[in-house]
Amino acid sequence: MLSIILLLQEIETSRFAQMKLAAANPDLSKFLVIGALLFIIGVAGVLTRRNIIVIFMSIELILNAANLNFIAFSRYLAGIGSPNALAGQIFTVFIIVVAAAEAAIGLGIVIALYRNKETIWVDEIDLLKW
């Protein structure tokens, strides 16, 4: 019985030591986890908020999480000596361009909508509902 407890403790301490080692040396997977969490926060914002401007900000958060994943994989590929290591960074430039265009158009739509409907709450913008 005692030996089993000792064994469990041994496993626990070794797992804890492993976790400490992994936290002291963050690698590709830690970047991906942070990107995933930012993405989820953005999705939650899009689904739950009523203010259309905050929904746009959540979309920016989602795009930024994708950028983080691209950069992390670019760094990983550079580490293993791949010739395509820079593709991630170039893709990120294009995502930033598209995000800027999307923000400009989206905010133009928000201004036009506010001028016609006097509201920024998405549940009150129901022109297509019947």
Partner 1 sequence: MTLSGYEALFFWIFGLAAIFAGLLTVMARNAVHSALFLISSLVSVAALFILARAEFIAGVQILVYVGGVMVLFLFVIMLVNVGAEERGSEEIFNNQRQVAASLIFCLLLVGGMLYAINTGYRGLQTLHPATPEAVAAQEAIRDQAHAPSATRSSRITKDTESVGGSLYRYASLPFEIASVLLLVAIIGSVMLARTLKQEVAVDDVDPGNAD
Residues belonging to the chain: 130
Nearer to partner 1 by Cβ, of 8 and 104: the residue is: 104
1 vs 123, which CB is nearer to partner 1? 123
By CB under 8 A, residue 98 contacts partner 1:
yes
The number of CA neighbours under 13 Å toward the Cβ of 64 is 14
| The one among 1, 4, 5, 115 contacting partner 1 by CB under 8 A | 115
Structural tokens at position 38: 């930012």
Instruction: Find how far residue 122's CA is from the centre of its chain.
Output: 23
DSSP state of 80: T
Q: Are 59 and 102 in contact (CB under 8 A)?
A: yes
Contact 39, 58 (CB under 8 A): no
Residue 18, SS3 per DSSP: helix
Question: Does residue 51 come out as left (phi exceeding 0), alpha (psi in the -120 to 50 range) or beta?
Answer: beta
Which 37-76 positions form the footprint of partner 1 (CB under 8 A)? Answer: 37-45, 47-51, 53-54, 56-58, 60-61, 64, 67-68, 71-72, 74-76
Considering beta carbons, is residue 8 or 108 the nearer one to partner 1?
108
Q: Which of residues 2-31 bind partner 1 (CB under 8 A)?
A: 23-31
* Least distance CB 65 / partner 1 (angstroms): 8
Question: Which C-beta is closer to partner 1: that of 11 or that of 111?
Answer: 111
What character string, x for contact with partner 1 (CB under 8 A) and - otherwise, covers 78-97?
Answer: xxxx----xx-xx-xxx-xx
